[in-house]
A and B are shown apart, each in its own frame.
Chain A
Amino acid sequence: MLSRVAERIYWLGRYLERAENTARLLNVYSTLLLDLPRGSRIGWHTLVDITGCKEEFDEKYQATDERSVIRFLLADAKNSAAILNSVEMARENARTTREIIPAEAWEEINNLYLFTRDNASKGVARGPRHALLKEIISRCQMIAGLLAGAMSHNSGYNFIRIARSLERADMTTRIVDVGSVTVLPELASENGEEDISEPFENTIWMCVLRSLSADQMYRQHIQDRVKGEHVVSFLLQDAHFPRSVAHCLAKLHRCLHELPSNRKALKEVNDAKKMVLGADIEALLASGLLEYIDELQVKFADIHTHIQQAWFLPVPKD
């Protein structure tokens, strides 16, 4: 497989997963706010923070209100983190690798783009938002299914899986971030805002699980009532749940293993696995969880760099 094609199909995988995950994030956040008392300290700004594009947002929008944040993350074609942008980039990468992806998968990716382009701005209003995001999520799932069922599980597919696992691990840490930011008492006092009382903590963690379609599997795995410590441990360390960080890293490891010249990338993945499995969640929840998650995300960026160096075209020197 051509290095250039590998690179494009990798980005196809990342953008598809990113679009789906961002849709999940917006969906859960919108529902979460309905369950919390009005005027509580959970603000829309948190969403902008966890997607890592605060600067871009502040440049263009005056207020951190619901409409601005949703527009920014859903329908703002100029925001690189917006769903519309992810979908467009996924389509562009698919369009330039059409010769190797199944035609029906391309048609659906194209449809996802056309659908999102035509409907994204409708989701700024609360009413139609849920249905819109759900549709985007379903379409992403359908594409993943088509790729799994109609594309040979060769190097090309391997790069999609690599991209998906990495993007997914990254997004799971971001969603854990949301949960922690909203419930951790230390932060509340830090910001001088009102603390969220105990009953809401449960609601928030439930929402976090739901955003990753993890609530049911969590319940089967841990019968006890929903507790932050268990949720974070489940999402970071569970070996079997497909969106847990540990599971994503294990899958990433297996996929990388099938490629040539994989030594450096594998080493980074192993380091990350150790970081995740060796973590003492209870202690981290007491202090240092946010810093820990930051470190993990840096590690993911390193993994990406090694993938790029090993298999993609060298960046042309001007």
Chain B
Amino acid sequence: MEIDWKSYNPGSFYDELISSPGYARKPARILARYLRSLSHEELQQRKAAAELAIKTMGISFTVYSEAGNIDREWPFDIIPRIITETQWTRTSKGLEQRLRALNCFIHDIYNEQKILKDKVLPAELIAKSGNFRKECVGMKPKHNVWAHVCGTDLIRDTDGSFYVLEDNLRVPSGVSYMLENRKVTKRVFPELFENYDIQAIADYPAQLFETLAALSPRPGNNPEVVVLTPGIFNSAYFEHSFLAQQMGAELVEGGDLVVQDDDCVYMRTIRGLSRVDVIYRRIDDLFLDPEVFQPDSVLGVPGLMRAWLKGNVALANAPGAGVADDKIIYTYVPQMIKYYLGEEPLLENVPSFLCIDEKQRKHVLQNLDKLVVKPANESGGYGMLMGPQSTKAEREEFARKIKANPRNYMAQPLISLSTAPVLCDRSVEPRHIDLRPFILQGKDIYVTPGGLTRVAMTKGSYVVNSSQGGGSKDTWIVSDGGS
């Protein structure tokens, strides 16, 4: 049986494609009509074709807990998500604005700390931040930019506008899947590309390379840019390898690099040592350099911080950039935008309560069953309390944690994530989604058209993280009105 859009009901949620049963939003009409024209068998065939493409292209991610089969195929839903160009242009400007402000903030924190002196942000927050690196104080990276690659998570509430859920400034991943999703869609639905003007995204690796190359400490046209990976057992290894391949950069592991007495970084090649200018590092701060951070780290390179502080090598993102990738600092981004840029924020935050503030903490503790509580520094959806689905014991445990370390927690009302149709075994059903665009800042600034749409594949679930069973969709930015 073919798709019956009349029986597709997103309920009170904002659905990306279908506004109410039987009615597709304007830009999605061609897509909805096209999908309805396919029989159930044809749809399942396309789905199987996508799965096969993913398998043969080797698009995979790694799950730690499943020993033996560490490499898993990337979960993908074939129905694309559509966003109009008009809406995207505004969002994209908001993302640029946000990253510019965040970089001003990081630079300020490691240098003059004006924002603390002007009491826009309580100094205590920095003093107790788990991501503040005292080793970076006084450093002035090129262009004064610290976070060169940012992945910002956006969600759409019932009113249809985008809100920022969090900024990932340490080692955000997912961009390779965004690119591969598009390739798979082209293989599966080539017909659709005739009827839509879809903004191309394939430029990202070139943009990333330019951003990185512009950080080189040595003059000249041929900087040696490398991607530093923790190795094949990392969950994002596929992406590290993919980006290195797409940029034509070497993919290195800690053991491939060495810092010599001249405080420069070299890689071990078959022709001997060769100087490295820019390292796109995909390992966390604390593993970067055993001489400075965790002494037992075998992933990093002894002396790397020394080389960076002397300006002999560029690190992207810069060590310490994570100070702004903190769910508490996040709540101050609108103030940062006003403070550093003198502008009004174009993108709003999800309303948040800070547990460090006595009044707000009280509110949080009284409403644990309605709120989502997040620790300051976890990623991948770990360590959270989903209030409405929690047990009494979990709430009591979180109340204890919050009282013991209020700086480490914030809470947000449960935002209704928007939905999009997902092809299930029998029919299409609404599933919750979010969006992670990627923003690059170096000499210039660049935002991906769209981003990675992540899908909570389980009915009713809000958990979109691939490490916890989430899936993904191709994301289209189309000129308004479709064709």
Once the chains are docked, how many angstroms separate the CA of A110 from the CA of B59?
11
Once the chains are docked, how many angstroms separate the CA of A6 from the CA of B272?
13
Which chain A residues lie closer than 8 Å to B251 at the CB level?
5, 99
A3 at the interface (CB under 8 A from B): yes
Are B244's CB and A2's CB within 8 A?
A: no
Q: Which residue of A lies closest to B250 (CB)?
A: A2
Partner of A2, one of B55, B57, B241, B267: B267
Most buried by A among B232, B242, B255: B255
Are A316's CB and B255's CB within 8 A?
A: yes
Are A99's CB and B241's CB within 8 A?
A: yes
Which chain B residues lie closer than 8 Å to A311 at the CB level?
270
Once the chains are docked, how many angstroms separate the CA of A111 from the CA of B55?
8
Q: Which of A100-108, A201-209, A210-218 lies at the interface?
A: A100-108
B434 at the interface (CB under 8 A from A): no
Known: A2-B268, A3-B269. A98 touches B241 (CB 8 A): yes
Once the chains are docked, how many angstroms separate the CA of A2 from the CA of B227?
13
Q: Which residue of B lies closest to A96 (CB)?
A: B232
B65 at the interface (CB under 8 A from A): no
* A261 smallest CB distance to B (angstroms): 8
Are A100's CB and B245's CB within 8 A?
A: yes
A1 at the interface (CB under 8 A from B): yes
B12 at the interface (CB under 8 A from A): no
Are A1's CB and B232's CB within 8 A?
A: no
Interface residues of B in 215-271 (CB under 8 A from A): 227, 232, 241-242, 244-245, 249-253, 255-256, 267-271
| Main secondary structure on A side of the interface with B | helix
- Mask, A94-123, CB within 8 Å of B = 1, is 011011100100110011001000000000
Partner of B242, one of A1, A98, A111, A316: A98
A301 at the interface (CB under 8 A from B): no
Which chain B residues lie closer than 8 Å to A106 at the CB level?
58
CB contacts between A and B, total, < 8 Å: 64
A313 at the interface (CB under 8 A from B): yes
A270 at the interface (CB under 8 A from B): no
Which chain A residues lie closer than 8 Å to B195 at the CB level?
none
Partner of B255, one of A4, A95, A260: A4
- Mask, A261-303, CB within 8 Å of B = 1, is 0000000000000000000000000000000000000000000
- Mask, B278-296, CB within 8 Å of A = 1, is 0000000000000000000
Interface residues of B in 316-364 (CB under 8 A from A): none
Once the chains are docked, how many angstroms separate the CA of A103 from the CA of B242?
10
Are A2's CB and B232's CB within 8 A?
A: no
Once the chains are docked, how many angstroms separate the CA of A60 from the CA of B268?
42
* B299 smallest CB distance to A (angstroms): 14
Which chain B residues lie closer than 8 Å to A110 at the CB level?
55-58
* B249 smallest CB distance to A (angstroms): 8
Partner of B271, one of A95, A111, A114, A260: A260
- Chain B interfacial residues counted at CB < 8 A: 24
Interface residues of B in 5-27 (CB under 8 A from A): none
Which chain A residues lie closer than 8 Å to B249 at the CB level?
99
Once the chains are docked, how many angstroms separate the CA of A17 from the CA of B296?
39
Are A103's CB and B270's CB within 8 A?
A: no
Partner of A107, one of B56, B242, B255, B271: B56
Which chain A residues lie closer than 8 Å to B267 at the CB level?
2
Which chain A residues lie closer than 8 Å to B71 at the CB level?
95
Known: A95-B232, A311-B270. A2 touches B245 (CB 8 A): no
A80 at the interface (CB under 8 A from B): no
Known: A98-B241, A98-B245, A99-B250. A2 touches B269 (CB 8 A): yes
Known: A98-B241, A110-B58, A311-B270. A3 touches B232 (CB 8 A): no
* A157 smallest CB distance to B (angstroms): 13
Known: A106-B58, A110-B56. A3 touches B245 (CB 8 A): no
Interface residues of B in 48-71 (CB under 8 A from A): 55-58, 71
Are B253's CB and A4's CB within 8 A?
A: yes
Once the chains are docked, how many angstroms separate the CA of A100 from the CA of B241?
9
Once the chains are docked, how many angstroms separate the CA of A1 from the CA of B268?
8
Once the chains are docked, how many angstroms separate the CA of A3 from the CA of B269?
5
Are B270's CB and A1's CB within 8 A?
A: yes
- Chain A interfacial residues counted at CB < 8 A: 23
A155 at the interface (CB under 8 A from B): yes
Q: Which residue of A lies closest to B241 (CB)?
A: A98
* A142 smallest CB distance to B (angstroms): 14
Which chain B residues lie closer than 8 Å to A103 at the CB level?
57, 245
Once the chains are docked, how many angstroms separate the CA of A153 from the CA of B22?
57
Which chain A residues lie closer than 8 Å to B58 at the CB level?
95, 98, 106-107, 110
Once the chains are docked, how many angstroms separate the CA of A4 from the CA of B258?
14
Most buried by A among B71, B245, B256, B270: B270
Are B252's CB and A2's CB within 8 A?
A: yes
Most buried by A among B242, B250, B252: B250
* A135 smallest CB distance to B (angstroms): 16
Are B241's CB and A114's CB within 8 A?
A: no
* A243 smallest CB distance to B (angstroms): 27
A259 at the interface (CB under 8 A from B): yes
Are B56's CB and A111's CB within 8 A?
A: yes
Which chain A residues lie closer than 8 Å to B244 at the CB level?
99
Which chain B residues lie closer than 8 Å to A5 at the CB level?
250-251
Most buried by A among B55, B71, B241, B249: B241
Partner of B269, one of A1, A96, A98, A316: A1
Known: A95-B232, A99-B241, A103-B245. A313 touches B56 (CB 8 A): no
* B240 smallest CB distance to A (angstroms): 8
Once the chains are docked, how many angstroms separate the CA of A3 from the CA of B250?
11
Q: Which residue of A lies closest to B71 (CB)?
A: A95
Once the chains are docked, how many angstroms separate the CA of A150 from the CA of B383?
47
Interface residues of A in 232-268 (CB under 8 A from B): 259-260
Partner of A3, one of B241, B242, B270: B270
* B88 smallest CB distance to A (angstroms): 29
Are A99's CB and B255's CB within 8 A?
A: no
Partner of A313, one of B57, B250, B268: B268
* A125 smallest CB distance to B (angstroms): 27
Q: Which residue of B lies closest to A314 (CB)?
A: B268
Q: Which residue of B lies closest to A7 (CB)?
A: B270
Once the chains are docked, how many angstroms separate the CA of A259 from the CA of B58?
32
In the complex, 15 of the A-B residue pairs with CB atoms within 8 angstroms, ordered by the A residue number, are: A1-B271, A2-B250, A2-B268, A3-B268, A3-B269, A3-B270, A4-B255, A4-B268, A98-B58, A110-B56, A110-B57, A155-B270, A260-B271, A311-B270, A313-B256
14 more A-B residue pairs beyond the given contacts A99-B245, A107-B58, with a C-beta to C-beta distance below 8 A: A1-B270, A3-B268, A5-B251, A95-B241, A98-B241, A99-B244, A100-B245, A103-B245, A107-B57, A110-B55, A155-B270, A259-B270, A311-B270, A313-B256
Q: Which A positions have Cβ atoms within 8 angstroms of B?
A: 1-6, 95-96, 98-100, 103, 106-107, 110-111, 114, 155, 259-260, 311, 313, 316
Q: Which B positions have Cβ atoms within 8 angstroms of A?
A: 55-58, 71, 227, 232, 241-242, 244-245, 249-253, 255-256, 267-272
10 tightest Cβ-Cβ pairs between the two chains A and B:
A99-B244, A99-B245, A99-B251, A311-B270, A98-B241, A110-B58, A3-B268, A6-B270, A260-B271, A99-B241
